[in-house]
Amino acid sequence: MLRTRICNIELRNPTMLAAGVMGSMASSLNRVYRAGAGAVVTKSFSLEPNEGYKNPTTVEVTGGIINAIGLSNPGVEAFKEELRGVDDDVPLIASVYGSSPEEFASVAASVEEYVDMIELNVSCPHAMAGCGASIGQDAGLTFRVVSAVKDAVDVPVSTKLTPNVTDIVEIAKSAEDAGSDALTLINSLGPGMKIDIKTAKPVLSNAFGGMSGPAIKPVAVRCVYDVYRSVEIPLIGAGGVRDFRDAVEFLFAGAVGVQVGTAIMYDGPEIFMRICRGLERFMIEEGFSSVDEMVGLAHEGV
């Protein structure tokens, strides 16, 4: 009943592990799949190794956390080892980043043989200059990155967008025009900040970090709803999903699947099984026989 397809990739259910959460190693990607996810997305990785920021890199705030891990990863060569270690039956999405269209294309091309899809991180709110959201906030740059990657690989490509823009629809369209096969909405919000009141010091070593978790869900649902009306390609929702009700909201807004990140802090990887069970029960009660029937329902009669 939960089986679905995203860009021709068969999924046993519409949930996915979000990029950057328990996604740095084959072992943890396999574990999250065994715990019930329909697909897994890796931590974003790049051409060269990157140590990321100093700690503290995460801190809890009301309704979620803010994080500035700094896209730490061992570089594409070492990361291939991990991709090879992911079990064959696991639908695997590689999240890649770079500082130029060429770099994105070269990282994507060198791992495409191991994965079912590439997700482009043009949306990290605290990446180094020239990476992350500084690309995804510019429709022209987004277009160039997506085009370069599409020229370089044959697997489907999803572009992950930042909510931190005046008009997310404009960016979404430029990614679609450049050939993106899907969109992932949204990356973490902000950046936000947490200050310790006893010492007047910012807690994160980077001072700012991306906000994620239940508090950003309304923004994420609105982004999916907004973009759904303007593009033809499938949307993958992310932002604050913690139970099946949240997943249903994203589907009704127009997403074909949902990613789950921060909720793992509260509930562990077992959360995927719980969301799926709840979703299945909901579908039976409400008379839905497939996920597809639910996608975009909130737009009807509007």
Partner 1 sequence: MVNVPEVLEIKGIVEESETVKTFIFDWDLTREIVPGQFVMVWNFSDEKPMSVSLIDHKRSEIGISIRRVGEFTSAVHELEEGDLMGVRGPYGRGFELMGRKLIIVGGGIGMAPLAALAEEAVARGMNVDAVVAARTSDELLFTERLEGAGVNIHTCTDDGTCGFQGFAHERLSEMDGEYDMAAVCGPEPMMFHVKEVLDDRGIPAQFSLERYMKCAVGICGQCCVDGTGWRVCAEGPVLWDHELRVVGEFGRYRRDSAGRRISW
Ligand X SMILES: Cc1cc2nc3c(=O)[nH]c(=O)nc-3n(C[C@H](O)[C@H](O)[C@H](O)COP(=O)(O)O)c2cc1C
Contacts of 67 (CB under 8 A, 6+ apart): 57, 58, 59, 188, 204, 209, 210, 212
Q: Which of 67, 147, 159, 162 binds ligand X (CB under 6 A)?
A: 67
Nearer to partner 1 by C-beta: 75 or 278? 75
Does residue 164 bind ligand X (CB under 6 A)? no
Residues in 106-145 at the binding interface with partner 1, rule: CB under 8 A:
none
Closest-CA residue to 183 (of 262, 255, 95, 87):
255
Does residue 196 bind partner 1 (CB under 8 A)? yes
The partner in contact with residue 196, picked from partner 1, ligand X, none with C-beta cut-offs of 5 to 8 angstroms by kind, is partner 1
Least distance from ligand X to the Cβ atom of residue 244, Å: 14
Catalytic residue among 7, 124, 131, 223: 124
Beta strands in 2-91 (DSSP E): 4-6, 9-11, 15-17, 39-41, 58-61, 64-67
Q: Which of 2, 7, 169, 203 binds partner 1 (CB under 8 A)?
A: 203
Q: Which of 5, 7, 12, 49 binds partner 1 (CB under 8 A)?
A: 49
Does residue 268 bind partner 1 (CB under 8 A)? yes
Whole-angstrom CA distances from 11 to 47, 89, 184, 216, 258 are 29, 10, 16, 26, 12
Active-site annotation holds for 131 = no
Q: Which of 9, 21, 165, 221 binds ligand X (CB under 6 A)?
A: 21
The partner in contact with residue 257, picked from ligand X, partner 1, none with C-beta cut-offs of 5 to 8 angstroms by kind, is none
Nearer to partner 1 by C-beta: 58 or 226? 58
Q: Is 275 exposed, middle or buried (0-12, 13-18, 19+ CB in 10 A)?
A: buried
Nearer to partner 1 by C-beta: 73 or 147? 73
Closest-CA residue to 221 (of 136, 284, 140, 298):
298
Beta strands in the chain (DSSP E): 4-6, 9-11, 15-17, 39-41, 58-61, 64-67, 92-96, 117-121, 157-161, 182-185, 189-193, 195-196, 201-202, 208-212, 235-238, 255-260
Nearer to partner 1 by C-beta: 169 or 207? 207
Q: Which of 127, 260, 283, 295 binds ligand X (CB under 6 A)?
A: 260
Does residue 207 bind partner 1 (CB under 8 A)? no
- List 158's β-bridge partners, or say none: 119, 182
- List 5's β-bridge partners, or say none: 10
Which spans of this chain sit near partner 1 (rule: CB under 8 A)? 20-32, 43, 49-52, 54-62, 65, 67, 69, 72-75, 78, 194, 196, 198-199, 201, 203, 205, 261-262, 264-265, 268
Which spans of this chain sit near ligand X (rule: CB under 6 A)? 18-21, 43-44, 58, 65, 67, 69, 71, 95, 121, 124, 160, 187-188, 212-213, 216, 238-241, 260-263
